[in-house]
Amino acid sequence: MQASAIAHPNVALIKYWGKRDTEQNLPATGSLSLTLAGLATRTRVSFDPALRADTVSVNGAEDAKAAVGVARCLDRLRAIAGSRDFARVDSENDFPTGAGLASSASGYAALVTAAAAALNIAGHDAERANIARQGSGSAPRSLYDGIVLLENTDDGIACRSVSAPAAWPLSVLVAVTSRAPKSVGSTEGMERSRLTSPCYPGWLETHPADLQAALESVACRDFEALAKVSEHSCLKMHALAMSAQPALVYWNAATMAAMQVVRDLRAAGTPVFFTIDAGPQLKAVCLPEAAPVVKAALSECPGVLELVECSLGEGARVSEP
Ligand code: PMV
């Protein structure tokens, strides 16, 4: 009744920002992401008949806030397995938690993978994706390899890899510009944007074409086309956040400086583009041969505290304890 799993965070190129059902945590739109090898969450789940409740520790400290979402996912898995046992969940991230690096995505992907293995119900792929999204809307994408598509279905979501890591290798340089947890989480941020940003209807209207363009550029490995539509989706998402009331500005001065570095490199012909999630870290996506140039330029950028180099990684999987 015990298993461990490893999962990587993912970064969205075509963003999810806004829910169609808040209660069920269902996204309003699809999304497209990269699963990142180089950053990892390791989670151990131990079901124990002696426990009176689920307990969750993240990086060695009890986390009562995380326990609510974790219990929601575990309840669904227990129902499938016909189990009533509570679990102890121990999760460790080797990167900053809650700071726009998708620790909740890798966390929930590792959780459902380890818990499903511990309960001996591995193989329920579609269910696992729909259970993981109850914890975090972007978590199902971390269950899959390489470039990942999440689509809405009538009653939930479906998720799959559209390009394996080796089919079109890409490098991602994560420029960490702050290690502080973000002040407004993504759930609150996207609700505020949906309810108050005048840009939200335009976001819903234009999103399907962005997703389609990105999928086509992946299918024919057209980096320039992927760069264009990905930066557009990122800036449009942040425009929604900035035009919400009260406004949400996730960037700091170093985020802006790093964005300028990437824009200048691309204008000079380097195959690189940026994306930024709900936090101040900038992710520079490039062809692997451009990674040394991009790394050198970003390492000189004022305010960049650390650079983490990632390649495309595997989806969540069961690991040694
Ligand atoms: O899954 P959540 O609730 O952490 O929201 C993710 C939101 C973004 O990272 C900003 C965009 C995305 O598609 O991952």
Atom of ligand 1 nearest to the CA of 136: 1
Mean pLDDT of 99-114: 87
- Chain segment 164-201, per-residue pLDDT in tens: 999 999 999 999 999 887 778 899 999 999 999 999 99
* Cβ < 6 A, ligand 1 pocket: 12, 15-17, 31, 104-105, 136-138, 186-187, 277-278
**CA distances for 205 relative to 169, 173, 235, 241, 278, angstroms:** 31, 31, 16, 17, 21
Residue 124 pLDDT greater than 80, yes or no: no
Has residue 320 been placed in a domain?
no
Distance 50 CA to ligand 1 centre (A): 36
| Tally of domains in the chain | 2
Atom of ligand 1 nearest to the CA of 15: 13
227 and 277: one domain? yes
Is pTM beyond 0.85 here?
yes
Residue 96 pLDDT greater than 90, yes or no: no
**Rounded-to-integer distance, Cα 141 and Cα 10, Å:** 7
**Rounded-to-integer distance, Cα 140 and Cα 67, Å:** 19
274 and 303: one domain? yes
Has residue 317 been placed in a domain?
no
Secondary structure class of 317 (helix, strand, coil): strand
User: Residue 267, Cα to own-chain centre: how many angstroms?
Assistant: 28
**Rounded-to-integer distance, Cα 145 and Cα 316, Å:** 8
196 and 269: one domain? yes
37 and 179: one domain? no
143 and 260: one domain? no
Q: Which of 138, 164, 190 is the last residue of a domain?
A: 164
123 and 246: one domain? no
Distance 3 CA to ligand 1 centre (A): 27
Has residue 319 been placed in a domain?
no
Alpha carbons within 13 A on the beta-carbon side of 129: 23
Q: Which of 164, 195, 227 is the last residue of a domain?
A: 164
Has residue 318 been placed in a domain?
no
| Structural tokens at position 311 | 């390649």
- Report whether 248 contacts 279 (CB < 8 A): no
- 125: confidence class by pLDDT, cuts 50, 70, 90: confident
Cβ partners under 8 Å of residue 183, min gap 6:
none
Q: How far apart are the first and last CA of the chain?
A: 13
Has residue 188 been placed in a domain?
yes
17 and 61: one domain? yes
118 and 242: one domain? no
239 and 305: one domain? yes
Please report, for the domain that includes residue 253, its CATH number.
3.30.70.890
131 and 185: one domain? no
Give the pLDDT of residue 212. 98
- 100: confidence class by pLDDT, cuts 50, 70, 90: low
DSSP string, 79-110: HHHT---EEEEEEEESS-TTSSS-HHHHHHHH
Distance 137 CA to ligand 1 centre (A): 7
CA nearest ligand 1 atom 6, residue: 138
Give the pLDDT of residue 106. 95
Has residue 88 been placed in a domain?
yes
Residue 99 pLDDT greater than 80, yes or no: no
Residue 289 pLDDT greater than 60, yes or no: yes
Q: Which domain holds residue 117?
A: 2-164
Atom of ligand 1 nearest to the CA of 14: 13
Has residue 231 been placed in a domain?
yes
Helices (runs of H) and strands (runs of E) counted in the chain: 8, 16
Residue 122 pLDDT greater than 80, yes or no: no
- Report whether 55 contacts 61 (CB < 8 A): no
188 and 288: one domain? yes
**Rounded-to-integer distance, Cα 123 and Cα 187, Å:** 29
Please report, for the domain that includes residue 90, its CATH number.
3.30.230.10
Q: Which of 137, 164, 191 is the last residue of a domain?
A: 164
136 and 213: one domain? no
